[in-house]
């Protein structure tokens, strides 16, 4: 079976992360949901509402459509990735609130014990957010902050974006060569 990924895009900063991830998933079946918050951030950061993202998706859903097929545990998927994951969405998922399609898909991933990767972008982190992250990690989610490494000597924003997306693709089990791996080629 072809890998199926649920990709939730919420209103954390980093619309380019979602776009870059989708550009690297062309050979996979992707089910994409963009929250209203994400559309606002897209407008600020990329001057669009995320239409280019939707064009790259295999299937798209409205975040308000909580009866969409991905809201059911019977819809099997390889992993759900929320990128960027706003602190609001992260808090809802940690508290078991499923009032949007993105948060419902996360709740499904947790209850079905499927891979859930959350890519938050915020700093600094309040005690509440840290507690929520701890809770999610205990529940089996992978909290993968959008924080690039600098040891690769990035020359551009694109390099830093690729660093984060490459690590997310690794977590999803998707082969990629977006960044040169540390000490690769050394004997
Ligand atoms: C330009 C802009 C940048 C934002 N950046 C962040 C951010 O980096 N992290 C975050 O958690 N929220 C950020 N927010 C706030 C979220 O978008 C807001 O809390 C929203 O309600 C999240 O809803 P959602 O999770 O349903 O998308 C930002 C909002 C705007 C307008």
| CA 83 – ligand 1 centroid, Å | 12
pTM for the model stands at 0.97
List the residue whose alpha carbon is closest to atom 3 of ligand 1: 13
- Annotate 127-164 with b (16+ C-beta within 10 A) or e (fewer): eebeebbebbeeeebbbbbbebeeebebeeeeebbbbb
Q: What is the pLDDT of residues 10-65, one digit of tens each?
A: 999 999 999 999 999 999 999 999 999 999 999 999 998 888 999 999 999 999 99
Structure tokens at 44: 């600020």
* 155, 162 contact by CB (below 8 A): no
Cβ partners under 8 Å of residue 175, min gap 6: 169
Q: Is residue 8 part of a domain?
A: yes
Closest ligand 1 atom, CA of 92? 25
Q: Is residue 110 part of a domain?
A: yes
pLDDT of residue 183: 81
Share of the chain above pLDDT 70, in %: 99
What pLDDT sits at residue 184? Answer: 83
List the CATH number of the domain containing 27. Answer: 3.40.50.1950
* pLDDT at residue 1 tops 70: no
Residue 149 lies inside a defined structural domain of this protein: yes
Decide whether any atom of ligand 1 lies within 6 Å of the 37 Cβ.
yes
Phi and psi for 180 in degrees, rounded to 5?
-70, 130
* Residue 187, domain member (yes or no): no
């Amino acid at each position: 079976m072809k890998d199926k990924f649920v990709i939730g895009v919420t209103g954390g900063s980093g619309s380019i992360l979602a776009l870059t991830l989708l550009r690297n998933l062309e050979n996979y079946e992707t089910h994409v949901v963009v929250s209203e918050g994400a559309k606002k951030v897209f407008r600020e950061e990329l001057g669009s509402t995320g239409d280019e993202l939707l064009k790259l998706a295999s299937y798209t859903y409205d975040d308000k459509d909580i009866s969409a097929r991905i809201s059911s545990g019977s819809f099997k998927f390889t992993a759900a990735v929320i990128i960027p994951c706003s602190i609001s969405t992260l808090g809802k998922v940690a508290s078991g609130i499923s009032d949007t399609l993105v948060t419902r898909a996360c709740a499904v991933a947790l209850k079905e014990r499927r891979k859930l990767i959350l890519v938050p972008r915020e700093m600094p982190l309040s005690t509440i957010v840290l507690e929520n992250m701890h809770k999610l990690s205990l529940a089996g989610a992978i909290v993968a902050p959008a924080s690039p490494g600098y040891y690769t000597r990035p020359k551009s924003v694109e390099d830093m974006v690729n660093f984060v997306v490459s690590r997310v693709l690794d977590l999803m089990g998707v082969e990629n060569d977006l960044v040169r791996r540390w000490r690769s080629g050394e004997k």
